[in-house]
Amino acid sequence: MLTEQGRLIAGRYRVGELIGRGGMADVHIGTDSRLGRTVAIKLLKSTLAADPAFRTRFRQEAQSAARMAHPTIVRVFDAGEETVTEADGHEVQLPFIVMEHVDGRLLKDIIREGPLETSEAVRIINGVLTALEYSHRAGVVHRDIKPGNIMITGTGQVKVMDFGIARAISNTSTTVAQTTAILGTAAYFSPEQAKGELVDARTDLYSTGVVLFEMLTGRPPFRGDSAVAVAYQHVSEVPATPSSLNPRISPAIDTVVLHALAKDRFARYQSAAEFRTDVETAGAGHIPLARALEGSTGLFGAAPVTVSTSELALKQLSEDSTMVRTQRRPPVIWVWAGIVSVVVIVVAVMFWVFTLTPSTDIPDNSREVPSLTGQVYEAAQDSLLELDLAATQAEESSATVPAGQVIRTEPPAGTIVEPSEVIKVIVSTGAEAVAVPDVINRSLDDAKAVIEAAGLLSGSVTRENSPTVPANVVLRTDPAGASSAHAGVMVNFVVSSGLVTLSDLRGQSLSAASDLLSAPSLLLVPSPEPDDSCESEPGSPVTKQSLAPGDVPQRSEVTLTYCSG
């Protein structure tokens, strides 16, 4: 197996001793024989390699991670797949990642020893947020921030690792058990991850808030008997304040942690830089002003509110009945002079606005969001990076835009934004698959309504003879009912005409003609009628029929005349 020490992979990396083990991978120390440097080799489980979609996504995400170079991020040097032979002789593809070797300890091992001092927790979380600020600007969302993915070096430096692996697995058909293992326990899920919604940079900030809570208290904010129970708490339960578990924590730190753990992603921190600023402020013993003004009376009592001297003076003037106005009113001419001045200023401003020539030049400190429609995400990301804009990917089904191509951006193309703005790139997942409803034996109007309600289009109508199904009732559809089709696909109908095809029965015996009319394919009603004007013949052949050959209404009565003289 590849886990054996001394094995050479990719022709250059010598596998050394095991230094870490996880739910989805084993980590070995290794040597790059070509460059002569020590590396860490992460060998992912062979069960993942059975999914071709994972292998493709894994390569793409490893390439994205390899482009990131920052002191707070564990560098990715190489990634690929190694063909190994199992004990039963079966060959499998085993994904591997070659990373920078960090001499240090995992944060999860440090937390096991007990809560950290506030100053140390603030220092470590600042390093994590610095790494996330860099990755988010590059359009990479980690998705799996947890103490097991944070290293602290011997000199105290913070290193975040495993960028992109969570995305590679969550976007493939791996099982729920595998996905949960690679993402760690549900203790670090954001509410949107627990609900299966799309994630963005704010998901990483929620998980970072969970890590900060755990460093301060020694345990995550939510615990339960199962991952489902913990995920439910992330969605619906209010976390305890860290100070209720560790009295040494200040109200300022409580404020920052609870703001980071807001259920609504729009109510929590919107960027890593904003989060880091508030952490530094709280670490210095001050409640962040923005948070204090929002008010948190339900948690810490009345929040401090900054009130200016002029506001206090106005408040005193309105509430103190002992204060008496002594200033005389201004002369009337002053009032009119003031009114005229205001009118002149308003007219001048309106004239300036209407004569203002709009400029098409974009300021040097601004950027215009380009049109990325039809591009693949990687090309769109490169286009934005050239403009100093970061990208974050979101997915949406589309019946018109092929899968993998950009539908639109938020903000839309042409919008003027500041440099480093994060642009959401909406990528098509293709037309949404829907089940074609079974509308057989429904009237045509009802069937069309059901088909269109399912997101499909009503197509052509073909009429076909049937002895039993009433007119304008559906016989079948194309595509057939209960099959799968893309949203917006045309569904064609075959409906009953209410008719059957009558053949020429003249010359056939009366009994044979009667049997043909009564057969299940016609279900017409034979009515024999003797004719004494002609001489009878053996078999009583039919000489006339009341309905001409061709299409006739269902269950019609057909008079068969035969000679009986």
What is the rounded distance in angstroms from the CA atom of residue 51 to the CA atom of residue 498? 52
Distance of CA 331 to the CA centre of its chain: 67
DSSP state letter for 249: S
Q: How far is CA 443 from CA 91, 455, 469, 498, 532, in A?
A: 57, 19, 10, 12, 48
- Long-range (24+ apart) CB contacts under 8 A made by 101-105 are 101/29, 101/30, 101/38, 101/39, 101/40, 102/40, 102/74, 102/151, 102/153, 102/159, 102/161, 103/153, 103/154, 104/151, 104/152, 104/153, 104/154, 104/157, 104/159, 105/151, 105/152
What is the rounded distance in angstroms from the CA atom of residue 167 to the CA atom of residue 149? 14
- Residues in the chain, overall count: 565
What is the rounded distance in angstroms from the CA atom of residue 327 to the CA atom of residue 371? 62
Alpha helix positions (H), 320-437: 332-355, 377-386
Closest alpha carbon to 425 in 197, 140, 173, 207: 140
With tokens 């109510």, the residue in question is 267
Closest alpha carbon to 499 in 556, 545, 559, 447: 556
Closest alpha carbon to 261 in 196, 187, 195: 187
Closest alpha carbon to 145 in 204, 187, 79: 204
Please classify residue 427 by burial: count the beta carbons closer than 10 Å to its beta carbon, then call 0-12 exposed, 13-18 middle and 19+ buried: buried
What is the rounded distance in angstroms from the CA atom of residue 210 to the CA atom of residue 261? 7
Is 515 a known active-site residue? no
The answer to whether residues 128 and 150 touch, using CB atoms and an 8 Å cutoff, is: yes
What is the rounded distance in angstroms from the CA atom of residue 314 to the CA atom of residue 324? 14
What is the rounded distance in angstroms from the CA atom of residue 329 to the CA atom of residue 303? 41
468: phi > 0 → left, psi -120 to 50 → alpha, else beta; which?
alpha
Helix (H) or strand (E) holding 449: helix 444-453
Residues in Cβ contact with 444 at an 8 Å cutoff, skipping those fewer than 6 apart: 461, 472, 473, 474, 493, 495
Active-site annotation holder among 144, 162, 254, 278: 144
Give the catalytic positions in this structure: 144
